[in-house]
């Protein structure tokens, strides 16, 4: 319908975060080629934390993560990712929620 391009950066920019530098709370397991669910995260993660890198591997940068758990539900059981909460006080801080 509308062809407008949605820039996720503009959306996340509204939010408040306290990033726990150097301690990512989500990790992607080493893989040759990504499983379908892992690949899906590059589209389905609402903060666009997942991307395919030059080697064809999916990587995560969890700075804009809203801790929703979608990637956990899709990929934790298969072992594709390790999912945890940030340390207490860190991560997204909703002003309204």
**Which residues lie near ligand SF4 (CB under 6 A)?**
26, 45-47, 49, 62, 65-71
Residue 65 · residue 93 · CB < 8 Å? no
The strand pairing partners of 16, in sequence order, are: 93
Q: Are 93 and 16 in contact (CB under 8 A)?
A: yes
Residue 34 as a binder of other proteins (CB under 8 A): the answer is: no
Q: How far is the CB of 85 from other proteins (least distance, A)?
A: 5
Contacts to other proteins by CB under 8 A:
1-2, 4, 6, 8, 11-12, 14-15, 18, 37, 40, 43-44, 46-48, 66-70, 72-74, 76-77, 84-89, 91-97
């Amino acid at each position: 319908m509308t062809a407008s391009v949605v820039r996720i950066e503009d959306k996340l920019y509204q939010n408040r975060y306290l990033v726990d530098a150097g301690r990512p709370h989500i990790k992607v397991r080493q893989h040759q080629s990504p499983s379908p669910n892992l690949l899906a995260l590059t589209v389905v993660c609402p903060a666009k934390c997942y991307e395919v890198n030059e080697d064809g591997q999916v990587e995560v940068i969890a700075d804009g993560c809203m801790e929703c758990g979608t990637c956990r539900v899709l990929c934790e059981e298969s072992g594709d990712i390790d999912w945890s909460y940030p340390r207490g006080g860190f991560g997204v801080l909703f002003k309204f929620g």
